[in-house]
């Protein structure tokens, strides 16, 4: 990469423990035969499969059946916070698979108790009680059900461009994608405008984003539509699937205030922003807001199916008296709980939250350097090691350039770095970048260098110098 694209921050790279290489297994796969079997037997689930077959993961890299090594800038599905195959995580999985894997959901085990203690002890006061499920959708479903039980009301407010999961209440409060083709949603769902600082039509006379006016407008519409049974508002601190939209400073505080006016609870979904990725244990800490209910998933399990619902003892007491019930086969399972506890132990022991802040500053600095060089980059946004790069064909008009973005992404992948780019038009041609927080500065520079080369070699990137 050219020197001007990124500056040295002066921080030393943190060394990741050595790993046993997985490369010898790569020669055992016939890629053409694997693809033939996939075409024959795998059911379509809403999007086309990536053309490569991934046969191994190690650290921050993926390996394909064709022998290609890829720097994984999305941590799997934004989940492998500590990287793939972290030796301590592998050890925990092995031991618990042998001796304490799965139990009847009403039985307790030491890993579940340890995870609840370590998690709640490192969250703001008022987030005191937790239980553990498998997916983010499940945790949001449970959180919404908790809010309905506590308030005795049923209407739920979500944000435009949100993504909360595939279950009934979760998808009902989700407005980015997935609502069509299967009949009515859960009744009583309302939408606040998506706080998109780059594209919102709500502007002050000087052209700056007026999120306060936008939010006030949204609540007026909700109050007119409501039947008087508003129970909760659910938000993400960064709307990842909607294009890496960061809530403006003060937004969470204002949402909490509006909820309190109406006797509603505030649910914050930190599937991707929680557990250190954004430079705090949880992203709400940036604003000092304590939600009534917090949900976690993805990053907590480092790629294993683990999610959490955390709330106050006071809310638990009311919901218990009202016969709240949320039972699943894998409620409070010991094996994933042991992994979650180890993730938190490593995060705190190795001061990885501070590392995420330093690495995030380096990543943002590098991406903004590329923005100064290539006119197709309309906006760079994010927090910590969660970043978005929006590709446009005209900076003044902010015209999405989906085809240019696709070709940049394809070339970057060929060069060896994978950043997710949704093909859905509502995503707006935004790259989602979320590498493991164990990534070193050299590895970050490696990825930025490949991304810059992809920009340089792609027609339509509009070099500025």
In a domain, 431, yes or no: yes
Instruction: Find the catalytic residue in 155, 236, 258, 280.
Output: 236
Claim to verify: residue 155 and residue 233 sit in the same structural domain = yes
* Domain endpoint, select from 301, 331, 349: 349
Is residue 140, in this structure, part of any structural domain at all?
yes
Claim to verify: residue 342 and residue 428 sit in the same structural domain: no
pTM of the full structure: 0.93
Residue 239 bears catalytic tag: no
Active-site residue among 262, 357, 411, 432? 432
> Half-sphere exposure of residue 398, counting CA atoms within 13 Å on the CB side?
11
Q: How far apart are CA 350 and CA 14, in angstroms?
A: 10
Share of the chain above pLDDT 90, in %: 86
Query: Do 218 and 129 fall into the same domain?
Result: yes
Structural domain including 283 reads 89-349
- Enumerate residues 6+ apart whose C-beta is below 8 A from 84: 57, 58, 59, 60, 61, 62, 72, 76, 303, 436
pLDDT single digits (tens) 139-186: 999 999 999 999 999 999 999 999 999 999 999 999 988 888 888 999
Q: Are residues 257 and 226 in the same domain?
A: yes
249 labelled catalytic: no
Indicate whether 7 and 47 sit together in one domain: yes
- The tally of domains found in the chain comes to 2
User: Which one of the listed residues 298, 342, 407, 411 is annotated catalytic?
Assistant: 298
* Active-site residue, 272 included: yes
Model confidence band, residue 6 (pLDDT cutoffs 50, 70, 90):
very low
Q: Is residue 177 in a domain?
A: yes
Are 223 and 290 part of one and the same domain? yes
Contacts of 351 (CB under 8 A, 6+ apart): none
Q: Which of 285, 315, 349 is the last residue of a domain?
A: 349
Whether the per-residue pLDDT at 304 is higher than 80: the answer is yes
Give the pLDDT band (50/70/90) at residue 426: low
The pLDDT of residue 46 is 80
**Domain co-membership, 265 together with 378:** no
**Among residues 58, 141, 258, 269, which one is catalytic?**
269
Task: Kindly state whether residue 82 falls inside one of the protein's structural domains.
Answer: no
Q: Would residue 162 count as lying in a domain?
A: yes
User: Among 48-52, 105-109, 280-284, which is the least confidently predicted range?
Assistant: 48-52
Do residues 33 and 65 both lie within one domain? Answer: yes
Instruction: Determine which one of 272, 355, 364, 443 is catalytic.
Output: 272
- Residue 44: give its domain's CATH number: 3.90.1150.10
In this structure, are residues 149 and 322 in contact, taking their beta carbons and an 8 Å threshold?
yes
Reply yes or no on whether 211 is catalytic. Answer: no
Domain boundary among 327, 349, 371: 349
> In this structure, are 196 and 268 located in the same domain?
yes
Considering the domain architecture, whether residues 317 and 448 belong to the same structural domain is answered as no
Catalytic residue among 72, 118, 153, 163: 163
Is 269 considered catalytic here? Answer: yes
Residue 16 pLDDT exceeds 50:
no
Look over the chain and give the mean of its residue pLDDT values, rounded to a whole number. 92
**Predicted confidence band at 425 (pLDDT cuts at 50, 70, 90)?**
low
Say whether 381 is catalytic: no
Per-residue pLDDT band at 423 (split at 50, 70, 90): low
């Amino acid at each position: 990469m050219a020197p001007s694209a990124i500056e040295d921050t002066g921080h030393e790279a943190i060394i990741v423990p050595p790993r046993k290489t997985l490369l010898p297994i790569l020669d055992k796969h016939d890629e053409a035969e694997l693809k033939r079997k996939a075409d024959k037997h795998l059911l379509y689930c809403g999007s086309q499969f990536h053309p490569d077959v991934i046969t191994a993961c190690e650290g921050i890299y993926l390996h394909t059946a064709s022998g290609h090594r890829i720097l994984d800038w999305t941590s799997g599905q934004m989940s492998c916070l500590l990287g793939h195959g972290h030796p301590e995580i592998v050890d925990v999985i092995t031991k618990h698979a042998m001796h304490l894997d799965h139990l009847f959901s009403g039985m307790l085990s030491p890993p579940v108790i340890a995870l609840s203690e370590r998690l709640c002890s490192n969250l703001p006061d008022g987030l005191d009680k937790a239980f553990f499920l498998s997916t983010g959708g499940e945790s949001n479903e449970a959180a919404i059900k908790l809010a309905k039980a506590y308030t005795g009301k049923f209407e739920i407010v979500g944000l435009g461009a949100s993504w909360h999961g595939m279950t009934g209440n979760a998808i009902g409060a989700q407005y980015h994608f997935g609502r069509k083709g299967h009949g009515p949603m859960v009744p009583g769902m309302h939408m606040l405008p998506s706080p998109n600082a780059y594209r919102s039509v709500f502007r002050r006379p000087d052209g700056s984003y007026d999120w306060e006016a936008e939010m006030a407008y949204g609540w007026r519409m909700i109050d007119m539509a409501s039947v008087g049974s508003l129970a909760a508002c659910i938000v993400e601190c960064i709307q990842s699937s909607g294009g890496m939209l960061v809530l403006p400073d003060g937004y969470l505080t204002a949402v909490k205030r509006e909820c309190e006016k109406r006797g509603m609870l505030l649910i914050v979904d930190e599937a991707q922003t929680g557990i250190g990725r954004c430079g705090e244990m949880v992203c709400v800490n940036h604003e000092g807001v304590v939600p009534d209910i917090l949900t976690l998933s993805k990053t907590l399990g480092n790629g294993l199916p683990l999610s959490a619902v955390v709330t106050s003892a006071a809310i638990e007491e009311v919901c218990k008296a009202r016969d709240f019930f949320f039972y699943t086969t894998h409620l409070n399972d010991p094996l994933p709980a042991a992994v979650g506890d180890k993730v938190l132990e490593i995060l705190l022991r190795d001061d990885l939250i501070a590392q995420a802040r330093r690495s995030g500053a380096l990543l943002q600095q590098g991406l903004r350097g590329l923005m100064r060089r290539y006119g197709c980059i309309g906006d760079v946004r994010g927090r910590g090691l969660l970043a978005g790069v929006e590709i446009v064909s005209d900076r003044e008009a902010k015209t999405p350039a989906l085809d240019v973005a696709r070709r940049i992404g394809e070339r970057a992948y060929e060069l060896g770095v994978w950043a997710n780019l949704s093909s859905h038009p509502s995503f707006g041609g935004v790259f989602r970048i979320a590498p493991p927080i164990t990534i070193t500065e050299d590895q970050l520079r490696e990825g930025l260098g490949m991304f810059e080369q992809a920009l340089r070699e792609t027609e339509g990137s509009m070099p500025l110098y």
